[in-house]
Amino acid sequence: MKKNIQRSVALLAASALFVACDASENGDESTSSDGSEQLEASHDGDDHDHDEHQDPGQHVPEDVDIEGLADHYHTGDNVELIAHYDDDTNYDHWHWYTRDDDHAEWETVPDHSTDQYTGEATVNGQEIKAVLFDDDHEAHVQSPVLEVVIDDHDHGHDHSHAHNEESQRIYDGFFYDDDVEDRSLSDWSGDWQSVYPYLQEGALDEVFEHKANEAESDMTAEEYKAYYEVGYETNVDRIVIDEDRFTFF
């Protein structure tokens, strides 16, 4: 009788153990299933943001041309770029990305969903690229990676690259009509800065003083400044000339 009771107790204990294990396994499966579903749902919800905003390195052609990149900038200068993609598509969903160097992660530039980029030169070697997306929010084409070069050279240096007095005079902004030679359009290719801001801030006052002190001059420095104010005034900050294409900023 005692053995039967012990056997019954053992069977009950074993049954309880198996039931507990089974419940635990079912609970784990339920938790795993729920967790998988939650992760999958979260992943699905982030697909657009991940592909479109955080990982612009898709394997798509680099068929986008970027205009406006200067040879170098000074710290704090504006960086203004325009993306060009010559195709029959009507896609206009752009995103611009930057990173401090090729070891850093790409970051989406906020509020830049058009073909134009405006930023500030703050990091030497900063990289920029543009990606055009199709109507399904998939990357269609991208630009090559551009590098922002900052060169804060001393504006007060002695201009050692000016080899003689005439070159120095022209470099300083004072030249005669005879110094201007005929040039082909291709010779004008580059990124051109308006001189009007320099006139406004007084950087050209020395030039006007120089002109006023010429023996044949009949105008004062102030009169020269007023005269050139009329000729230099413009709302265009920069002009980029690339072969026969002109881009105004």
Examine residue 78 and state whether it is found in any structural domain, yes or no.
yes
Please work out, in degrees rounded to the nearest 5, the angle formed at the alpha carbon of residue 88 by the alpha carbons of 84 and 90. Answer: 75
Token digits of residue 198 = 């320099």
Given 148, 181, 207, the domain boundary residue is: 148
Examine residue 135 and state whether it is found in any structural domain, yes or no.
yes
Domain that holds residue 46: 1-54
- For residue range 215-239, list pLDDT tens digits in order: 888 999 999 999 999 999 999 989 9
- For residue range 159-215, list pLDDT tens digits in order: 444 456 777 777 666 777 777 778 777 778 888 889 999 899 998 998 899 889 988
pTM: 0.46
Examine residue 132 and state whether it is found in any structural domain, yes or no.
yes
- Sign of the alpha-carbon torsion through 53, 105, 144, 247: positive
**Residues in Cβ contact with 115 at an 8 Å cutoff, skipping those fewer than 6 apart:** 82, 83, 84, 85, 92, 94, 130
Q: How many domains does the chain have?
A: 3
Torsion from C-alpha of 151, 153, 155, 159, nearest 10 degrees: -110
> Rounded to an integer, what distance in angstroms lies between the CA atom of residue 241 and that of residue 248?
9
Say how many Å lie between the first and final Cα of the chain, rounded.
102
43-52, 120-129, 143-152, 209-218: the lowest-pLDDT one:
43-52
* pLDDT beyond 60 at 131: yes
> Rounded to an integer, what distance in angstroms lies between the CA atom of residue 68 and that of residue 119?
12
Pair 135, 169 in one domain: no
| pLDDT at 112 (0 to 100) | 93
Pair 69, 126 in one domain: yes
Given 101, 123, 148, the domain boundary residue is: 148
Given 84, 116, 148, the domain boundary residue is: 148
Examine residue 234 and state whether it is found in any structural domain, yes or no.
yes
Ramachandran region, residue 94 (left: φ > 0; alpha: ψ -120 to 50; beta: rest): beta
Number of residues assigned to the chain: 249
User: Average pLDDT, whole number, for the chain?
Assistant: 77
With a pLDDT cut of 70, the percent of the chain lying above it is 70
Examine residue 60 and state whether it is found in any structural domain, yes or no.
no
Examine residue 133 and state whether it is found in any structural domain, yes or no.
yes
Examine residue 59 and state whether it is found in any structural domain, yes or no.
no
| pLDDT at 233 (0 to 100) | 93
* pLDDT beyond 90 at 127: yes
- For residue range 99-112, list pLDDT tens digits in order: 999 889 999 999 99
Examine residue 160 and state whether it is found in any structural domain, yes or no.
no
Pair 40, 111 in one domain: no
Average pLDDT over residues 49-71: 74
> Rounded to an integer, what distance in angstroms lies between the CA atom of residue 138 and that of residue 131?
10
Pair 182, 115 in one domain: no
> Rounded to an integer, what distance in angstroms lies between the CA atom of residue 146 and that of residue 30?
50
